[in-house]
């Protein structure tokens, strides 16, 4: 049974990857079982044998995204590794990763957020929110372990609110900017400048000193 199970897992992985890619390209309304099947190199019937409808497939795919996101973070940024990085450099690296991720996946992030909002309060929403919060809290904990460098009286709350402000700014500037032309001349001219300014704001709010800056 092992080879058959391996092929089944591979097929499922291909299908979930296709669902995510179509969702990012087409949005919720444009994501259909036939499109997902074609993208995965499968027939619609093969998809329906695994998932009874598009919503169940997308729920499974989105949960997989959030689980993988948490795993990647845990592997790429351990508490031990973060402790060896100067706080300003650590903050800039995290913010740089967020900017790059949001920029590359902006349409997918918008579609996932819409999908979640439409299911607020349900079982899927609760699972997804728990996974999102786990990832967010891990980042907060990474920064909070450096409490001796944070001058804010409530260092953990400061780290959490600071990260929320970063995410909020990136949502408005990168993910869902609307008519960005209205903001021309008021915002950083490129992503590198945006990273620098967001890092400066984050460190300033936390009261972290940045030498030679």
CATH of the domain at 104: 1.10.357
What is the C-alpha to C-alpha distance for residues 114 and 128, in angstroms, rounded to an integer? 13
The helix (H) or strand (E) run that includes residue 161 is helix 155-170
State the residue range of the domain holding 150: 77-206
Is the residue at 46 inside a domain? no
pLDDT tens for the 213 residues of the chain, in order: 444 566 777 889 899 999 999 999 999 999 999 999 999 999 999 999 999 999 999 999 999 999 999 999 988 899 899 999 999 999 999 999 999 999 999 999 999 999 999 999 999 999 999 999 999 999 999 998 899 999 999 999 999 999 999 999 999 999 998 877 777 788 999 999 999 999 999 999 999 987 654
Provide φ and ψ at 43, rounded to 5°.
Answer: -90, 155
What's the sign of the alpha-carbon dihedral 63, 115, 106, 42?
positive
Angle at 97 between CA 94 and CA 100, to 5 degrees: 150
- Number of domains into which the chain is organized: 1
188, part of any domain: yes
pTM of the model: 0.89
Distance CA 17, CA 164 (A): 28
**Residue 122 is assigned to a structural domain of this protein:** yes
* Nearest to 22, CA basis, from 13, 34, 10: 34
106: which 2 tokens? 């902006």
């Amino acid at each position: 049974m092992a080879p058959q199970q391996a092929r089944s897992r591979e097929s499922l992985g291909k299908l979930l990857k296709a669902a995510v890619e179509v969702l990012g390209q087409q949005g919720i309304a444009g994501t259909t079982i036939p499109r997902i099947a074609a993208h995965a190199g499968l027939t619609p019937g093969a998809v329906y044998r695994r998932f009874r409808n598009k919503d169940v497939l997308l729920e499974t795919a989105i949960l997989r995204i959030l689980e993988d996101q948490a795993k990647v973070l845990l592997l790429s940024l351990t508490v031990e590794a973060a402790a060896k990085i100067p706080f300003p450099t650590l903050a800039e690296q995290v913010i740089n990763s967020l900017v790059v991720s949001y920029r590359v996946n902006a349409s997918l992030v918008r579609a996932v957020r819409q999908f979640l909002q439409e299911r607020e309060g349900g079982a899927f929403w609760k699972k997804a929110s728990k996974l999102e919060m786990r990832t967010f809290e891990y980042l907060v904990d990474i920064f909070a372990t450096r409490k001796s460098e944070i001058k804010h009286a409530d260092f953990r709350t400061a780290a959490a609110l600071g990260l929320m402000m970063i995410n909020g700014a990136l949502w408005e500037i990168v993910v869902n900017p609307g008519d960005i032309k209205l903001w021309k001349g008021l915002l950083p001219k490129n992503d590198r400048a945006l990273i620098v300014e967001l890092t400066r704001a984050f460190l300033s709010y936390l009261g972290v000193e940045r030498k030679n800056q």
